[in-house]
Amino acid sequence: MQRLLPIIKIGAILVLTLLLMLPMGRIRELIRERQGLRDQVLEQVARSEAYAQTITGPIVIVPYTRTVRVQELDRDQRPVTVMREVSGELRLLPESLDVDGTLKTGQRQRGIYRARIYQADTRLAGQIGIPVNYGITEDAESYRFGSPHLALGISDIRGIGNALVLRADGIGIPFQPGTGTRLLTSGVQAPLQDVSAAEPRRIEYEIALMLTGTSAFNIAPAGRETNVRLASDWPHPAFVGEFLPRERSINGEGFTAQWQTSFFATNMEEILGRCNDAAPDTCLDLRTRNFGVSFVDPVDQYLKSERAAKYAFLFIGLTFAGFFLTEVLRRVSVHPVQYGLVGLALAMFFLLLLSFSEHLGFPAAYALSAVACVGLITFYVAHVLASRAQGLGFGAALASLYGLLYGILSSEDYALLMGSLLVFGLLAAVMVLTRRVSWNGMGMGR
């Protein structure tokens, strides 16, 4: 029976560890619940302010009516040729598009939750080439062209913060709501004055746009040549979309980034040509062909708390292993109830971490929760082992474990490597310390 005591004790510890996963599961559910509440606040702020913004254009829209011959069947089901009028629009991309933008971030608070917004001060400029007959080279006499206008797609026009004016060859033309085309579902338009199909024209344009949005800011590279320069005070940008910036600079004060594309890379002219109003699926490429920056936190407190909770099994197991190792090496007896109380204190760390992080931020919350739990466990273990020195030693080892866990949580790229090295190092330490232990005698040396 004496020989079975180590096995029974280890089995009891394993069962207790598994039982402690039940409250840890509830804590992880609570983390997801609180994260869901935070996401609802983000949605509410976006609904009241503005959603993520995407700028598409400018694009010149030329409505037309065309007379065409079509084959139809008469009453006797004989084919006849008749003249019909069809309507449509021509779409011309600018030869160049230069975008300069400065984005300042801020916060909106609802209760304990905060949502990040940005104010984008942007300037769009470039050249638009208008060819003879708007580029129609065959059967141009069958077209009757309407008045052309310039359309600028803005995904959420509620975010527009200034009176938009198109500067075309130095002349100011106020924008009007609506794009005047099914190509762009949301945006503004401005008529192009003194533009006709009889002669070619080159227009120098400039648009100053103040735009509010949340989570992301994107640009569709509408120009045959597109150059975009963005600067912001947000130090954690995530560059998203079809193209990455050619140059970028990121530091604690913010970032700057530059994109440069050509119509060879973007294929925008072909995408625009395939886009058919009657078949919306053909326009999907136009809506998704963009790039920009996301302002969402790369790792927020809820994600870090979730990641920390995933290490709970390892954390509790290592602590119990240290407790058991103390029993073996110091020849003391620790009751399973005492194991359970220490395990509950460890589980409380993750609940405290979640609660404090919503108010103090993750680093301060982690430090405060770790100090509280390490202090409580150190005090308890010192009395259980009837030794202040052993209690302090156990607390120091536990504090080191918390420090290593924080390093793992803070490192996204090396988390797996650091976690693997931690487990290997602890296993090696246990094997070295117990190399002379006689497990049959439960702590009796050889």
Give me the pLDDT at residue 282, please: 59
- Name the domain boundary from 231, 265, 294: 294
312 shares its domain with 440: yes
Q: CA nearest 404: which of 390, 389, 388, 415?
A: 415
Instruction: Verify that 266 and 336 share a domain, yes or no.
Output: no
User: Do residues 136 and 89 share a domain?
Assistant: yes
Kindly provide the b/e burial profile for residues 233-266, where b requires at least 16 CB atoms within 10 angstroms of the residue's own CB: ebeebebbbbbebeeeeeeeebbbbebebebeeb
* Domain count across the chain: 2
Instruction: Annotate 157-182 with three-state secondary structure.
Output: HHHECCCCEEEECCEEEECEECCCCC
- In this structure, the answer to whether residues 32 and 58 fall within a common structural domain is no
**399 Ramachandran zone, left/alpha/beta (phi>0; psi -120 to 50):** alpha
For the record, the structure tokens of 27 come out as: 């804590």
Residue count of the chain: 446
Q: Which of 203, 209, 246 is nearest to 226 (CA)?
A: 246
Per-residue b or e along 171-202, where b marks 16 or more CB atoms closer than 10 Å to that residue's CB: eebebeeebbbebbeebbbbbbeebebeeebe
My answer on whether 66 and 138 are in the same domain is: yes
Classify 203 as helix, strand or coil: strand
328 and 284 in a common domain: no
Residue 287: which of 300, 296, 297, 274 has the closest Cα? 274
pLDDT digits over 229-258, tens only? 999 999 889 899 888 899 999 998 899 999
The answer to whether the CB of 222 falls within 8 A of the CB of 268 is: yes
What is the rounded CA–CA span in Å between residue 228 and residue 230? 7
The DSSP secondary structure of 228-247, one letter per residue, reads: EEEEES-SS-EEEES---SE
Q: CB of 310 within 8 A of CB of 370?
A: no
Same domain, 270 and 310: no
Collapsed DSSP state (helix, strand, coil) of residue 270: helix
Give yes or no for a cis peptide into 336 (omega within 30° of 0): no
Measured CA to CA, the distance from residue 161 to residue 176 in angstroms comes to 14
Residues 306 and 438 in one domain: yes
Q: Do 231 and 202 fall into the same domain? A: yes
Joined together, the tokens standing for residue 177 give 């709501």
Domain boundary among 275, 294, 313: 294
Among 233, 268, 294, the domain boundary falls at 294
Asked if 46 and 337 count as a contact pair (C-beta separation under 8 A), the reply is: no
- Residues ≥6 apart with Cβ < 8 Å to 272: 59, 91, 93, 183, 286
Q: Which tokens in the block code for residue 82?
A: 């008749």
Identify the bridge partners of residue 189 per DSSP, sorted by sequence position. 151, 176
Task: Give the domain extent around 95.
Answer: 49-294
Dmax (CA) for the chain in angstroms is: 112
Task: For strands 53-73 and 216-220, give the pairing.
Answer: parallel
437 in the same domain as 358: yes
The answer to pTM > 0.85 is: no
Q: Is 115 left (phi over 0), alpha (psi -120 to 50) or beta?
A: beta
Residues 6 or more apart whose CB falls under 8 angstroms from that of 81 comprise 69, 70, 71, 72
Q: Taking the CA of residue 178 as centre, how many other CA atoms within 13 Å lie in the half-sphere pointing to its CB?
A: 4
Q: What are the phi and psi torsion angles at 162 (to 5°)? A: -145, 165
Do 95 and 7 reside in the same domain of the chain? no
* C-alpha–C-alpha distance, residues 101 and 259, integer Å: 12
Q: What is the pLDDT along the chain (446 residues), one digit of tens a residue?
A: 555 566 777 777 778 888 888 888 888 888 888 888 887 877 777 777 888 999 998 999 989 888 777 677 667 677 767 777 778 888 889 999 999 999 999 888 777 777 888 999 999 999 999 888 888 888 878 888 888 999 999 999 999 988 899 999 888 999 999 998 888 889 999 998 778 777 888 889 999 999 999 889 999 998 889 999 999 999 889 899 888 899 999 998 899 999 999 887 787 877 777 776 555 565 666 777 889 999 877 657 787 888 788 778 877 877 777 777 777 666 667 777 888 888 888 888 888 888 888 888 788 888 999 999 889 988 988 888 777 887 888 888 888 888 888 877 777 666 677 767 777 877 787 677 666 666 555 544 43
- For residues 115 and 45, the answer to whether their CB atoms sit within 8 Å is yes
Interatomic CA distance for residues 234 and 22, integer angstroms: 39
Is the torsion defined by CA of 42, 44, 48, 51 positive or negative? positive
Judgement on whether residues 150 and 118 belong to the same structural domain of the protein: yes
pLDDT, residue 434, reads: 66
